[in-house]
Structure 1
Amino acid sequence: MRLFDKIEEVASSRKRRKQVQEIASSPHKIPKLALPNTSSVQISPRGTPMRFRVRPRLHRTPSLDVNPIKVRQQMEEKARNIKREITVVKKPPVGLRNLAISPEQLGFVARKQEAVEDEFYRKGLPRLVQVKGRRRILVRQVPLDFGMLNDTDVFILDTGGEILYQWNGRKANRIVRGKGLDFVKNLKDKDFGGTKTIKVLDHGKNDYPEPGFWKFIKRNPEDEVAKGEDEEMGNELISSILAMTVLYKVNEIEEVFIPEKIATHPFTKSLLKEDCCYILDTINEIFLWCGKKSTPKLRRGATSLAKDLKAERKTWTAHIVRELPESETLLFRERFMDWGYGPTIAVQQIASNTSSAPSPKIDIKKLISNLPKLAPDPVADDGKQDPKIWRIEEFAKIEMKPENYGEFFSGESYIVLYKYPWKNKFAAQIYFWQGRNSSTTDKGTAALITRDINTALQNDGRIASIKDVRTLQNLETPHFMKVFSEFYVIHQGKE
């Protein structure tokens, strides 16, 4: 071989080796493939197409028999019919048809309520409670309507918000006013935990400017409050309502729930058993009470019976109230004669160990002789002068009429000014009498006003001696008793 040919062969081998190295170091190119024009094709990481399947699309044509516009109109018409108010003709229950009292007086007005409303009471719903009577007090829920107001009763409005209103009729007596105030205070403390505010409105004084009250009791400008019944008619009305108040016990017989009448008014708390369910029917109120140990099946049956009882009523009926044991509402507890506002107090009888031997005779004269003798009266006066008396009321003194002198109340404080001749001039005794049940405010006000009277008398040159005397009930001084020697009576409570 010639030298030139050998050199050319070596050069060509080096060139091929270099080309192989370049190919090995360069990345592989993905070959271009002709794929179908669809988005469902997936490419593998290596660049090769995967198997694909195009899902067929179903085309549904609307039916020509159904018009969607008419269907929508029919649905809207049904919704309007459901929300429309249902007015039922006035018709009293069977037990009221033979009474001399009209159903309207018992509170049976035409029921106007939506058919879709909730049948059970829940906190936050407004309600109106009536308090009526004198000898017998009746507390019941009535329709939230201006026509229920009258001038002889007291009404409690629970707005469902932060305010409880007490509306007093113009002719409401002191007993029903006090019962209404007691009820609304316990309603605030027991049912709402003291979180609400009480506002007292008097008919014809400060009630009409109150917008929060008349927002719920809708009143037209020409409307006037109706006149209430007289005392005899009111007592007959209360007796009729209480006579038709019934307590039912729910019994299960062969998987059928049957109400059993067990008692009429008055009721006692001992009638309620822990393993039973009861329905209290008060004509226009229905209460459902289930004991702690009652079965869920019995509770469901009692709930169904309460709903049926409310549905059968042709007159206005309040929401059904579910009562929880040991957390009963105030309106429910009012129906039981031995159910107070607080926890019950058990009275235990203690056996007496006294012997049957006759007791020794007591010498009364000997007991009286051992009493300490009273100190002589420092006031040299017979108490025959005319006093002047004021009664304390709201940080002020109100002068009493002379015909009421000698009558004191244990819940009040009084100031008695007595002047009598002394050393060619006059002396003054200023008694500030404090009742046993008088408030701290009244006692303090009496002391301050006594000091003011003393200051005013010091400027009078005719008064030579002035003395302030604090007098407690049942601890009066001898001279004080001389002033009221002819007539002295202490009444219980406030005037």
Structure 2
Amino acid sequence: MPSTTRTKVVSSDPTDLYSMRFAPVPYIPTDYNDNSPYKKSVEDVTEETRYILEEFIIERATEDGVDMGLVKPIIDVDLSALPQYRQIQQIAHRLRMIGDELDADQRIKSMVDQVPINSPYETFSDVAKELFCDGIYNWGRIVTLFYFTYKLILKSLRDQPSSILHVLVEWTVRFVKEIVAPWIVCKGGWLVVLRDAVPQSRLTTIGIFLNDHLLGNAVQHREVQGNESERFLSYFKSRGGVTYRQGGIASGFHRHQSTNEPRLFHLKGRHTVRLFEMPAIDWSYISRGDVYLLDLNEVIFIWNGSKSNKYERLQAMHRAKQLRDERGKTNIVIIEDGEEMKMSKDELKLFESKLSLKDKKLNLNETIDDNDDDTRSDGAHIKLYKCSDESGTLKVTEKKVGPLVKSDLESEDAYIVDNGAHGIWVWVGRRSNPKERREAMRNALGFLQKKGYPKMTKVCRVIDGAEPMEFIALFKTWLDSNAQKGLGKTYTKGHIAKMVSSQFDVTTMHLHPQLAAATQMPDDGSGKKEIYRIEQFKMIPYPETMHGIFFSGDSFVIQYTYNDQQNSYTLIYFWLGHHSSLDEQGAAAIGAVELDKKMNGTATIIRVVQDKEPLHFMAMFHGHMIIFKHGKRSGFRNLQYYDENNSENDDTYLLQVRGLSKYDTKAVQVNI
């Protein structure tokens, strides 16, 4: 990107920004790599940083519905007039995609909101230094720096004069020049971010930086693929376990596109299933000691190794049935090792089209993996280390070799519980200083290398007073001050507790935000609704008699208002039917943003796709939600879907009803 003269902003028309925001994703070039012939200097990267940061701010502000008149003082260059604007837009768009994922975490948003704005430079300096204090550089951390700058700008718009806005940009650019720019130069310049951004860097940033520096009161779990903790795996039991698919790393932050290609899965786990997709369908990836699923979409073959255990065979059958139920037209064929010829001719022909029996003897992997993913530690060699900063220098000293008791932990310090290859735990006392909290986690990670433990060893950081049961189980005795003593309070025959009704209490959700987050239910859906349907790219009020009736060829915008004991809140859903056109979907998104602007940006905007409706969305219609086929003729690309008023199937249709209560029930039209 050549150097250019900086000029004053010519245009900041919000309508142009909206069209930019909802336009299709720009073309992303793929011919840039670390060996790129483009040579950049620190000065070049610094100048590009300013332009990219300003474009990043414009896109984020537009997405959040911020008044562009307030943002004008920040942008002192007409970016669209620059010859390299196309590249700037592409890079900023990629960074904004990563920033959007950060913004989706409400816990992180809450943390950032608590950063004091009365000392912005000190806060910014501490955050920036903390991000790169370990000497590790990646695009995820750079995006987090941009994200944090943008959040400080939003906070300044509310609390401080606008003169500080430009200063925040200058601080960011200066920090990049002095600390990060040399790394960007070595990578080949900013263009490399278009193919080099890796999601893992973002997760590292969230876990260590935001938690430790801003609040430090959350429980942190470090999970490694294939060696996840039981707690992590338990979250996916209802979905049949965890499935590991090939790819994903080189694709950056692009969404996974499902395909119908045949796949070979290796099943592991006696209690919680894990499916590992094999790199290819070949006998060399199959062992007699395990169970495999050959998924051909129409048929799922379960191949049971002759030395596999009965528990994994049972889990394979359950997983195959779940896949069959999801698809509806899939057959299941069970094959025992050595009995492949007992299949029918059609089944054998289909199986051999992917796994020829002639190659079995030659390529079958005879190695048997005896590792049990449900093993337990006896805790015989557990060790406790104390992290202390009393002398001004952080020291990690061994305090005790198990068994451990709760009294070994003091709230003034941080501790590392070393359980060997079964896991490393960091316990942070509520009165420990920030340095001890940060360095305790870093020292735990250092244990993995120093002690020679496997890289997949689990690492968890817990807080004094919020210890999970897995941590408490490592101690011989653990008595809380509020723990029940003896039998507790008992009841005689004449004083049995009364039965109470289980009516939904809206205030419960406001008093317990964790429960609301887990159930995705801010209230019981009895608030006020205003529904609009997109017709000819405009929001047309939807008759109240039609509330709850949707069409797969349409897009809808729903403004929902509810109250707690003190305040009023608004949610804006925009619902996208499977067969609605892209232009209608864009109009729905713009309409949702416009409604939010009318409310001064106080509403929460939620994108909902047909068949992926959250629990609260269905609860708004109290069990009367119906999705019909077809829709209004309004989009340029959905002319094949005719108006529901002219449907040939108005008189006769078949509805599939799902749900167990008025909070999760809906009906969907299916083919007769």
TM-score by length of 1: 0.29
Query: Would you tell me which structure has more helix in proportion to its own residues?
Result: 2
Which structure has the larger Rg over C-alpha atoms? 1
